[in-house]
């Protein structure tokens, strides 16, 4: 069902996903100073690896098709998720790899872009079969030197998670005995396997930080006819997977009202707000999002995203907002949680309506940002906070004691705990992510102002092209 919906919407675009990314790139390249050759080099996919390998499933041998695309080698390692879906094809992997290059540049993560995918529906396989497929894919990557802490570092994406990353890390480590940095060959691992706290929710949290920052700019909110601040903003989220669920959770925690939720089997809407956890529990127990008490049912989930709201977060798959439905979208702020959820036509229609689109390559960069932190942790072989948490707490205690002595007043127990607290790994990860999302937001906003643009995607591309272009210029051309 998931695949049918996506394929149908993708067919409606007149060009491929990768061509769509190229069109957006070309639009922005006009505002940069780079010569044609450099721009062509930035745009091109540097290396494309298509693999077919056999796996025994039950009593039959199945030939599995898979890909890994390294879009840019201007910084190494390359970085990008691995997707398991029947929609995986070379063009899609190329487009997603290209977006990774621009995404890393925007959030100042020193990696080139890459992406991988296996053309399977993971729901058709047992965990044992998925492990066999994943391990074989990982060993194919090792064979061709397409994976390694200094070469190319995959991560989870649609249809994969910490479990698959753990299998990949173990396969890599077995094939590279004694490689001390082996755990840095993949990110998004479970904590016990070298993962970092905060990675699971990182993309959704980054989506929240990015949208919240936009809502905090009074001038921009006034232009949209909205009040500043995230509090009370009505939000619809499409896709209750890793990105969508966590984004919705942080929006709710931040004071926004979740009014609509869409999944592949349909969607629910309640203008007064939905209790996210209750909807998730309802879906788990009944097997469907439909029928949630007090909410209006939409048998077609795509109808929910057209309902009244301030903020729409498409966090499922690409091309879901296109020439056919864009005019009916009511949201003033569209935050791209998924990669490529809007076609270029949808972009134009929504911009003409005065909406602001916060582009995927900035907004969902929280995952790769925290993946970068995980990679740093793996290379340094020490948990963030391990060296300084206690030191900070001791220092905070003596500052409190000095203040109490000087003022003759005592802080309460709650205040003492808050003031004393030294940073845990998750505190540092959240803080690094928040700083990154805020810093990059203003880099893009500055580019919008400089070039007098209403289109944030073009501004984000300008920021990315400028950084990647300078890297290529400074590297020179190898003879
Ligand atoms: P996921 O597999 O965890 O979740 C996707 C969810 O979307 C699933 O719950 C699925 O049932 C739902 N879905 C599928 N088709 C739908 C439809 N037609 N309508 C509504 N819901 C539908 O995947 P994810 O990791 O959350 O990734 C989602 C998107 O975010 C992808 O585009 C991915 O490339 C992008 N992304 C993910 C990360 C990450 O860290 N996981 C980082 C950056 C970007």
- Residue 201 Cα to ligand 1 middle (Å): 13
Q: Work out the pLDDT band at 336, boundaries 50, 70, 90.
A: very high
- Tens digit of each residue's pLDDT (9 = 90 or more) over 429-468: 999 999 999 999 999 999 999 999 999 999 999 999 999 9
Residue 150 token pair: 């200094």
pLDDT of the residue at 13: 54
Here the CATH number for the domain that contains residue 241 is: 3.40.50.720
**How much is the pLDDT for 304?**
97
C-beta of 338 in contact with ligand 1 (< 6 A): yes
Note whether residue 320 is domain-resident.
Answer: yes
Residues 183 and 200 in one domain: no
- CA–CA separation, 388 and 394 (whole Å): 10
Q: Are 248 and 208 in contact (CB under 8 A)?
A: no
Q: Report if residue 395 sits inside a domain.
A: no
pLDDT attached to residue 479: 62
Residues 70 and 97: their CA atoms lie apart, in Å, by: 6
The reply to whether 206 and 341 lie within a common domain is: yes
pLDDT digits (tens, 9 = 90+) for 180-206: 999 999 999 999 999 999 999 999 999
Sheet holding 356-358, edge to edge: 296-298, 266-269, 257-263, 234-238, 311-314, 333-335, 356-358
% of the chain with per-residue pLDDT over 70: 97
pLDDT digits (tens, 9 = 90+) for 34-60: 999 999 999 999 999 999 999 999 999
If asked whether residues 201 and 186 sit together in one domain, one would say no
- The CA 78 to ligand 1 mean position distance, Å, reads 22
pLDDT of residue 28: 97
Q: Are residues 208 and 173 in the same domain?
A: no
Low-confidence winner among 6-10, 146-150, 272-276 (lowest mean pLDDT): 6-10
Whether 119 has a pLDDT exceeding 60, the answer reads: yes
CB 456 within 8 A of CB 357: yes
Mutate to test the pocket of ligand 1, among 20, 107, 109, 157 (most ligand atoms within 8 A of CB): 157
Residue with CA closest to ligand 1 atom 40: 367
Are residue 119 and residue 231 in the same domain, yes or no? no
| pLDDT for the residue 478 | 66
Nearest CA to ligand 1 atom 39: 157
Tell whether 469 is covered by a domain. yes
Query: For position 317, what pLDDT does the model report?
Result: 85
3-state secondary structure of 473: helix
The dihedral sign for the CA sequence 261, 266, 272, 276 = negative
Q: Is 306 in the pocket of ligand 1 (CB under 6 A)?
A: no
For 320-333, give the DSSP string.
-B-TTTGGG---SE
| 115 given a catalytic annotation | yes
Residue 411 lies in a domain: no
- Spatial distance between the Cα atoms of 295 and 429, rounded to a whole number of angstroms: 36
Q: Read off the pLDDT of residues 385-434 as tens digits, 9 standing for 90 and up.
A: 999 999 999 999 999 999 999 999 999 999 999 999 999 999 999 999 99
Instruction: Say yes or no to pLDDT of 141 above 90.
Output: yes
Whether the CB of 367 sits within 6 Å of ligand 1 = yes
Asked whether residue 310 is assigned to any structural domain, the reply reads yes
Measured in angstroms, how far is the CA atom of residue 380 from the centroid of ligand 1?
Answer: 31
The verdict on the CB of residue 156 being under 6 Å from ligand 1 is: yes
Is 242 a pocket residue for ligand 1 (Cβ < 6 Å)? yes
Domain boundary among 166, 193, 220: 193
Domain identity same for 265 and 156: no
- Residue 40 located in a structural domain: no
From 193, 227, 259, give the residue that closes a domain: 193
Which one from 115, 189, 332, 377 is the annotated catalytic residue? 115
Q: What is the Cα–Cα distance from 361 to 342, expressed in whole angstroms?
A: 12
**CATH number of the domain encompassing residue 66:** 3.40.50.10860
Q: Does residue 8 belong to any structural domain of this protein? A: no
Q: Which of the four pLDDT bands, split at 50, 70 and 90, describes residue 15?
A: confident
Query: Chain-wide mean pLDDT for the chain?
Result: 94
Q: Are residues 242 and 133 in the same domain?
A: no
Tell me the mean pLDDT in the region 230-246.
97
What local confidence, expressed as pLDDT, does residue 477 receive? 73
End position of a domain, from candidates 174, 193, 212: 193
Q: Which of 244, 303, 304, 319 to mutate to test the pocket of ligand 1 (most atoms within 8 A of CB)?
A: 244
Give the number of other CB atoms < 10 A from CB of residue 458. 24
Q: Is 248 in the pocket of ligand 1 (CB under 6 A)?
A: no
User: What pLDDT, on the 0 to 100 scale, is given for residue 163?
Assistant: 97
State if residue 266 touches ligand 1 by the CB under 6 angstroms criterion: no
For residues 9-18, average pLDDT: 65
Q: Sorting pLDDT into bands at 50, 70 and 90, what band is 8? A: very low
What's the total number of domains in the chain? 2
- At 422, list the tokens: 């030294």
One domain for residues 202 and 182: no
For the Cβ of 238 lying below 6 angstroms from any atom of ligand 1, the answer is yes
Task: Decide if 116 contacts 479 (C-beta within 8 A).
Answer: no
Domain assignment of residue 451, yes or no: yes
pLDDT given at position 2: 33
Nearest CA to ligand 1 atom 41: 157
CA of 262 to the centre of ligand 1 (A): 12
pLDDT band at 224 (very low <50, low <70, confident <90, very high): very high
pLDDT at 44: 97
**Are 215 and 176 members of one domain?**
no
Same domain? 147 vs 291: no
Range of the domain at 70: 47-193
Beta strand ranges found along 333-445 (DSSP E): 333-335, 356-358
Ligand 1 touching residue 340 (CB < 6 A): no
Q: Is the pLDDT of residue 256 over 80?
A: yes
Look at residue 358 and tell me whether its pLDDT is greater than 50: yes
- Write down the pLDDT at residue 344: 84
User: Could you tell me if 151 and 76 lie in one domain?
Assistant: yes
> Same structural domain for residues 136 and 88?
yes
What's the pLDDT score for residue 5?
A: 37
Model pLDDT, residue 1: 29
Q: What is the per-residue pLDDT across 293-331, written as a single tens digit (0 to 9) for each?
A: 999 999 999 999 999 999 999 999 888 999 999 999 999
């Amino acid at each position: 069902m998931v695949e049918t919906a996506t394929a149908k919407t993708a067919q409606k675009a007149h060009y491929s996903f990768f061509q769509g990314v190229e069109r957006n790139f070309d639009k922005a390249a006009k505002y940069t100073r780079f010569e044609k050759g450099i721009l062509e080099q930035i745009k091109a996919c540097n290396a494309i690896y298509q693999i077919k390998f056999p796996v025994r499933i039950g009593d039959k041998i199945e030939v599995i098709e898979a890909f890994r695309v390294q879009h840019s080698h201007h910084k190494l390692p390359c970085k990008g998720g691995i997707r398991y879906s029947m929609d995986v094809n070379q063009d899609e992997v190329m487009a997603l790899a290209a977006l990774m290059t621009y995404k890393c540049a925007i959030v100042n993560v020193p990696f080139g872009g890459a992406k991988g995918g296996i053309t399977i529906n993971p729901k058709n396989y047992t965990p044992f079969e998925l492990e066999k497929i994943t391990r074989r894919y990982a060993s194919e990557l090792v064979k061709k030197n397409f994976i390694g802490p200094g070469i190319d570092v995959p991560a989870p994406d649609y249809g994969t998670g910490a479990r698959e990353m753990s299998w990949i890390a173990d396969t890599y480590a077995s094939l590279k005995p004694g490689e001390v940095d082996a755990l840095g060959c993949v990110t998004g691992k479970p904590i016990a396997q070298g993962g970092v706290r905060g990675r699971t929710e990182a993309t959704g949290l980054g989506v929240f930080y990015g949208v919240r920052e936009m809502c905090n700019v009074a001038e921009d909110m006034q232009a949209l006819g909205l009040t500043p601040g995230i509090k009370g903003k009505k939000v619809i989220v499409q896709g209750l997977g890793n990105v969508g669920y966590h984004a919705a959770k942080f929006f709710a925690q931040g004071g926004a009202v979740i009014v609509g939720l869409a999944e592949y089997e349909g969607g629910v809407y309640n203008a007064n707000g939905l209790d996210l956890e209750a909807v998730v529990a309802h879906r788990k127990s009944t097997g469907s999002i439909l029928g949630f008490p007090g909410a209006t049912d939409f048998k077609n989930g795509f109808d929910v995203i057209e309902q009244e709201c301030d903020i729409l977060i498409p966090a499922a798959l690409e091309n879901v907002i296109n020439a056919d439905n864009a005019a009916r979208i009511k949201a003033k702020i569209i935050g791209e949680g998924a990669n490529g959820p809007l076609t270029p036509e949808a972009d134009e229609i929504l911009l003409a309506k005065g909406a602001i689109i916060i582009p995927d390559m900035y907004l969902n960069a929280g995952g790769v940002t925290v993946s970068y932190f995980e990679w740093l942790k793996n290379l340094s072989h020490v948990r963030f906070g391990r060296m300084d948490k206690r030191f900070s707490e001791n220092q905070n205690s003596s500052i409190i004691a000095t203040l109490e002595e000087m003022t003759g007043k005592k802080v309460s127990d709650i205040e003492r705990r808050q003031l004393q607290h030294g940073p845990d790994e998750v505190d540092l990860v959240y803080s690094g992510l928040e700083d990154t999302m805020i810093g990059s937001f203003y880099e893009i906003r500055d580019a919008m102002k400089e070039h007098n643009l209403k289109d944030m995607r073009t501004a984000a591309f300008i920021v990315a092209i400028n950084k990647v272009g300078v890297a290529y210029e400074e590297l020179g051309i190898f003879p």
